[in-house]
Amino acid sequence: MASLRDIKSRITSTKKTKQITKAMEMVSAAKLNRAQSKSTSFLPYTEKIREVVSSIASGNEEEKGISHPMLEAREEVKKTAYIVITSDRGLCGAYNSSLLRNTLRILNERHASPEEYGLIVVGRVGRDFFKKRGLPIYQEIVGLQDQPEYQEIKNIASTTVQMFTDGIFDEIYIHYNHFVSVISQKVTESKLLPLNEFGGDADGEEVTEDSSSTNLEYIYEPNPEIILEQLLPHYAESLIYGALLDAKASEFGARMTAMQSATNNATDRIDELTLVYNRARQAAITQEINEIVGGASALD
C-alpha cells in the first residue's frame, strides 16, 4: 500500500496537470472562436467566385457554355492526388487518427498500388504517419499558424493545381475534418478537381441556386475565356484554403473537448486520491491510538 506521502504527492501532481489542461482548454476555446469567424467570413468570397465561374461555364440560352480542361473529367484516371489536412500537434482526441484511418482505408480500397496515387500533406502528424508507412508524399507543409493566412499555403495550393493541369494527376481530392460543432467533427472527402460540379452534383442531381444569382448577367472584359482561364486556378486554390480554415476550426474544437475531458478526469482522480488519503490517514491515526491504549494497558 502506498504511503501517505506518496498519495499526497500524486494528488499534488494531478492538481498541476489539471491546471495545465484547464489552461489549454481555455486557450483552445479562444482560438476556436477566431478560427470559426475566419472560416465563416471566407465563405462569401468563395461563393462569389463559384457564381462567376458557373455563369461562364454554363453560358446562357443564346450562348453555349465555355469549356476548360479543369472542368472536364478525364476518360482514364491514371493517378489520383489526395490533399490530407491534419494538425501539427496531438492532444486533440481522435481528430487526427479518425481522419488518417479513413484516408488509409480509401487508398487501400481504390488503388492496387502506391503508384496510382500521390499525397499532399498538411500537418506534421499526417506527414509522419504517411512517411512511416512509406507512402508517396509529393508535397508537404508543416508549422502553419493557428490562424493561417492564404500566402502560407498559396505555393502548395498553386503547385497542386498545376500538377493537375500538367497531367501528373487526373483527379484531386481533399480529406479533412469538417467542423460541425464543438463536440463533433466530420471526416470529409471533397473532390477538388476536375471542377465538374457546375450544373449538377456528384450524383447527377440538379443543383439549385438562389434565384437572385441565377438571373444575373455579367459583362466580361476582355472576354469570358480569359476570365475563366484566370479564375479557375484561383477558385481551386480558394477551395483548398477554405478546407484548411474549416479543418483548423475542427482542430481547436477537438482540442478543447479533449482538454475538457482531461480536466474532468483529473478532478475525478483527485477526489479518488483524496478519499484514499483520508482513509489511510484515519487508519494510521487509529493504529496510533490502539498502540497508545495497548501500551497503557501493559503498564497496568
Quick one: DSSP state of residue 71?
G
Q: Is 35 exposed, middle or buried (0-12, 13-18, 19+ CB in 10 A)?
A: buried
The CA R_g of the chain, rounded to the nearest whole Å, is 28
Sign of CA dihedral 239, 244, 245, 247: positive
What letter represents residue 111's amino acid? Answer: H
* Residues in Cβ contact with 17 at an 8 Å cutoff, skipping those fewer than 6 apart: 262, 266
Say which of 92, 182, 244, 247 is annotated catalytic.
92
Q: Between the CA of residue 32 and those of 40, 53, 183, 224, what are the distances in Å?
A: 12, 32, 12, 40
Q: Is 166 exposed, middle or buried (0-12, 13-18, 19+ CB in 10 A)?
A: exposed
Residue 132: strand, helix, or coil:
helix
Identify whether 92 is a catalytic site residue: yes
Nearest Cα residue to 136 out of 125, 120, 160: 120
Q: Please answer whether residues 245 and 38 qualify as being in contact, where contact means their C-beta atoms are separated by less than 8 angstroms.
A: yes
Q: Please answer whether residues 86 and 144 qualify as being in contact, where contact means their C-beta atoms are separated by less than 8 angstroms.
A: no
Question: E-assigned strands of 123-244?
Answer: 137-141, 171-181, 184-193
CA angle, residues 210, 191, 106, in degrees to nearest 5: 140
Residues identified as active-site:
92
